[in-house]
Each structure stands twice: as structure tokens, then as C-alpha cells.
Amino acid sequence: MSGLHVGIIMDGNGRWAKSRGKPRWRGHLAGVDSVRDIVRSAPNLDVTTLTLYAFSSDNWKRPPTEVGRLFWLLREYCRRERAELLQNGVKVTAIGRRDRIPRSALGTLEELEDATRHGTTLHLRLAIDYSSRWMIAQAAAELARAVARGTLAPEEIYPDLMDPLIHRGVPHLDLLIRTAGEQRLSDFMLWEAAYAELYYTNTLWPEFRARNLVAALSEFGRRKRSFGGLLKIEPSVKVS
């Protein structure tokens, strides 16, 4: 599967709801429409891997009622979107911890993962109970176990060894989008974002649609990516 890998920090659901005098969970509900629209449009925009920040490990600090609503929405999304995701060739996988996800939501999520495992049009990755620092620590622990077994020497540990343990076969991140005006990564794909282009928009997530993704990708197309090297500059032509 070729094409672009786009990650999105879906921010602004609560502010969207508050501006309309609605409870916060109504903003999360409205945000599902944006997820649907972006998933539908992504393949036509040469996006073949899409990673969505659905629930961070820090989100456990929110009120239990809101957390419960979020996992209810996850379960309903997996159920209601399953037929369309299958029809459109979308492969769904979750990244992050699984041991703290409520059993009913986890079961429905894993059923969707299994049902869509052969999808080739779009790889939709849902970051749930996700912390990039935790993922990096897990990769480091895996290397530490190899050192303890005697199959790896400490001086042999380089970023190239960490890289596949974090990416797990997924293409490198090309573009990271954050909605709602905030300009920070919030523990999302810290390793993967090393050479990614960052795009911030004031648009709240429930209002983010395919046209906004097109705008982000258009800006991405204008960026010059050197990956730490020098950009190739065409020699000037002298006119005699």
C-alpha cells in the first residue's frame, strides 16, 4: 500500500458543543460525522494510512460520565460503520493500550479489526488509550529484554533498531494535522513526527470535512522536505 500517511489530532469537540449550549458529549457525537467524511474521502486524496487520535491516556482524567460516553461512541462507531468500511476496503486497527478499555467496547473493536483485516484501500488506525511516550518506552523495553538475553549489546542500540518496533510496518508519517487552533503534539506520535510536516487549523473537529483535508494536503504539497539534507536546486540558466 503506497500513498500518504496522515495523522490527525481531533481537537475541539468540547468547545464546539459549549458554543452551542450543548453538553460535551454532543460534540464528540458530532465529531463522528467528521471521522466518517474524512475516512470516505482520504483514499481519493492519495491518503492510504490514516491515524486518528481518538482517546489519549491522559483522557482518563476526564469525568467518568464523559469517558463512558466516549467508549459508547467507539462501540457504536464500530457497529454502525462496519458494513461501509468493509465495502470500501478499509482496514481498521487500534494502537495503544488495551488492558484498560471497557470489555464491551474492546470486544466490538477487535471484531471490527478481524472483519476488516484484508482491507487494502485505506489503513485506518485508531489511537485509543494511546500515549506516544508509553509506546516508545515499550519499544525500549523490548530492546532491553534482548540485551538481557544476550542477543543484543547496549552499544548496538541505535534509532534504526527502535524504528521498526514503533512503526510496526506502517509507513512513516508524512503529515500531522491538529484542529481547533492548539499548536502542540500532546503525546501523539512523537517518534513518528520527527520528519513529518505539521499543519494547524482553527477549525473545530466537528466542522472538519473533506474540503479541510484538501486544504491541508494542498499546503503539504507546497512544503519542501529535505529530511535534514540540502534541497536540490536547479542550476540557473544563463541567457546569452
Q: What is the pLDDT of residues 181-214, one digit of tens each?
A: 999 999 999 999 999 999 999 999 999 999 999 9
C-alpha 212/C-alpha 231 separation (Å) is 28
Nearest by Cα to 114 from 91, 96, 98:
91
Would you call 129 a catalytic residue per the annotation? Answer: no
What is the rounded CA–CA span in Å between residue 179 and residue 116? 28
So what's the pLDDT on residue 240? 38
Domains of the chain by start residue, with CATH: 4-222 (3.40.1180.10)
**Catalytic entry in 11, 13, 174, 212:** 11
% the chain with pLDDT above 70: 93
- Tell me whether residue 59 is one of the annotated catalytic residues: yes
Q: Please, which pLDDT band fits residue 108 given cuts at 50, 70 and 90? A: very high
* Strand order from edge to edge, sheet including 47-56: 90-95, 122-130, 47-56, 4-9, 175-178, 197-200
Tell me the sheet residues that pair with 91: 123
What is the mean predicted confidence (pLDDT) over 158-180? 95
pLDDT digits (tens, 9 = 90+) for 8-33: 999 999 999 999 999 999 999 999 99
Of 33, 37, 59, 88, the catalytic one is 59
Burial tier of 117 (Cβ tally within 10 Å: 0-12, 13-18, 19+): exposed
